[in-house]
Amino acid sequence: MPSTFVVTYEPGWASIEIKEGISFENAWQAVLDVLAKKFELEMISREGGYIRTAWIYTWWKVGERSENYRVRAIVKFSANSKNVDIKTEANYLTGGQWITGADTRLLETVKTDVMGVVGRTTR
């Protein structure tokens, strides 16, 4: 089991404040581009401000497929388009059962990538 795997039934959301002056359209496109570089995009709803990636099986051991560990990311824009929320889901297969959780490294990676393109800098 990866050290970055955290068992939880309901992974938490990390929220990023979108910097002023960026339109929803530009923020949406930037976040979509960031995710598309690392993931296959499984569900995209521009109207709902929602993106979910497909499961990837190569996160734990980079460049190597792991049939017993998978991760994906979910991104949701707030109704007022001032924030973007990120959640990661991870599953670890043991004894024929998927254990539900989150991956802390994936959350930090996606959060950093999204902050880099739309995040407000703190003073």
**Angle, nearest 10°, between helix axes 104-118 and 24-38?**
140
pLDDT at 62: 77
pLDDT at 121: 65
pLDDT at 123: 43
pLDDT at 23: 95
- Which is nearest to 34 in space by CA: 48, 53, 17? 53
pLDDT at 51: 98
pLDDT at 44: 97
> Low-confidence residues of the chain, pLDDT below 70?
121-123
Q: CB of 71 within 8 A of CB of 88?
A: yes
Which domains occur in the chain, in start order?
5-116 (3.30.530.50)
The amino acid present at 2, given as its one-letter code, is P
